[in-house]
């Protein structure tokens, strides 16, 4: 069985509270050898670190753009301090999830931008790659990356244009693709996943979010009492099979390539191979 890396999985989320260990066992049984668990707030730093060590996974520390309204200078100080304290921790692979969200209404764009810039500076200081939240914000993210260079990373759940994709790749980033690939109507994403160099692509679930089409429930189905399907890291292998089909490759070839790409994007992952 091929090994896969889920480069973005919120295994610490409350949705997994009742069966978190079983979820990780199912992923391992499906061939997911490693999950990267990004934090979304300073209050979660210790949680993701402990979880990664318990399961032989990896983690990232950062403040999510959707949570910047509740964050302050002390959270940036906590991030800097934790990165210094855990500098020798091989399972700490990136600063993330950070970025900008220009989709959700009512957010303070200037505040988001401040936290994004400061976290880029912190990542650069510690020599770590970043995991970026990219939601209708690719150009703004790229503009700041040119001003504050970092050691590459991953543009998570990428949904931008071909030109934006190429700019991220030119800056040393890989692009994260997940459950959205499984929807035939996601033509732009499927086209990008087919046309980009395979070396530019990593796979992710964003579990428990972004369920693939086989888990998705429409509003009508939910109203009829069918709950929305919860995404899990075990779904990564089926998502990988979709990518393989789109590109005319074997699942084994896609697993090998995307694992290699994940280790290139987050170099500390390479040292964790076989450590579960």
Residue 8 assigned as binding residue: yes
Question: Any binding-site annotation on 44?
Answer: no
**What φ, ψ does residue 164 adopt, rounded to 5°?**
-65, -40
Inter-residue contact 16 to 208 (CB < 8 Å): yes
Burial of 47 (0-12, 13-18, 19+ CB in 10 A): middle
Q: How far apart are CA 205 and CA 177, in angstroms?
A: 8
Question: Where do the structural domains in the chain lie, given as residue ranges?
Answer: 4-272
The CATH class of 4-272 is alpha beta
Does 133 appear as a known binding residue?
Answer: yes
What's the CA gap between 200 and 272, in Å, rounded? 21
Q: Is 53 annotated as a binding residue?
A: no
Q: Which parts of the chain register pLDDT below 50?
A: none
The pLDDT of residue 93 is 98
Q: How far apart are CA 272 and CA 28, in angstroms?
A: 15
pLDDT given for residue 16 in this prediction: 98
The reply, when asked if residue 10 is annotated as ligand binding, is yes
Q: How far is CA 42 from CA 63, 87, 93, 95, 125, in A?
A: 7, 17, 16, 12, 18
pLDDT of residue 216: 84
156 is in an annotated binding site: yes
Judged by DSSP in three states, 229 sits in: coil
The owner of tokens 């964790």 is 272
The neighbouring-strand residues paired with 60 are: 38, 94
């Amino acid at each position: 069985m091929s090994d896969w890396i889920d480069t973005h999985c919120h295994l610490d989320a409350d949705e997994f509270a009742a069966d978190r260990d079983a979820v990780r066992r199912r992923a391992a049984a499906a061939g997911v050898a490693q999950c990267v668990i990004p934090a979304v707030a300073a209050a979660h730093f210790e949680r993701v670190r402990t979880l990664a060590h318990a399961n032989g996974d990896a983690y990232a520390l950062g403040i999510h753009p959707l949570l910047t309204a509740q964050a302050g200078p002390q959270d940036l100080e906590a991030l800097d301090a934790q990165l210094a304290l855990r500098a020798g921790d091989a399972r700490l692979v990136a600063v993330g999830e950070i970025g900008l969200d220009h989709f959700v209404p009512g957010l303070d764009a200037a505040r988001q931008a401040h936290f994004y810039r400061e976290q880029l500076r912190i990542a650069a200081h510690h020599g770590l790659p970043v995991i970026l939240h990219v939601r209708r914000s690719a150009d703004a993210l790229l503009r700041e990356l040119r001003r504050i260079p970092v050691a590459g990373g991953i543009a998570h759940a990428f949904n931008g244009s071909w030109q934006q994709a190429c700019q991220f790749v030119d800056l040393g980033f890989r692009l994260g693709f997940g459950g959205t690939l499984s929807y035939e109507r996601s033509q732009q994403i499927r086209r990008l996943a087919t046309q980009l160099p395979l070396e530019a692509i990593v796979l992710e679930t964003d579990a428990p979010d972004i369920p693939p089409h086989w888990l998705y429930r429409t509003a009508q189905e939910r109203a009829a009492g069918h709950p929305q399907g919860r995404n899990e890291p075990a779904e990564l292998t089926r998502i990988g099979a979709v990518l393989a089909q789109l590109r005319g490759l074997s699942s084994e070839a896609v697993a090998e390539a995307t694992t290699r790409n994940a280790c290139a994007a987050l170099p500390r992952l390479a040292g964790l191979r076989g450590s579960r």
